[in-house]
Copies of this chain bind each other. A is one copy, B any other.
Amino acid sequence: MNLIDQLAQAFCCLPGVGPKTAQRMVLYLLERDREGGRHLSAQLALAMEKVGHCRRCRNLTEDETCDVCLAAGRDPGLLCVVESPGDVLAIEHTGHYRGYYFVLMGTLSPIDGIGPGELGIDELVARAADGVGEVILALASTVEGEATMHYIAEALKGRDVSVTRIAQGVPLGGELEFVDGGTLSHALSGRKAIQGD
Contact = CB atoms under 8 A, between A and B. Distances in A.
A134 to B, nearest CB: 27
Given A2-B67, A44-B41, A60-B30, A14 B7 contact: no
A89 B30 CA distance: 15
A115 B62 CA distance: 48
A84 B48 contact: no
Interface size class of A (residues with CB under 8 A): 35 or more
Q: Can you tell how many copies of this chain the complex includes?
A: 2
A97 to B, nearest CB: 18
Contacts of A33: 13
A159 interface: no
A31 interface: yes
Contacts of A13: 29, 33, 36-37, 39-40
A24 interface: yes
Interface string A129-168: 0000000000000000000000000000000000000000
Q: Is the interface of A mostly helix, strand, loop or mixed?
A: helix
A186 interface: no
Contact of A25 (B4, B14, B28, B46): B14
Given A10-B43, A47-B3, A48-B41, A27 B61 contact: no
A142 B15 CA distance: 34
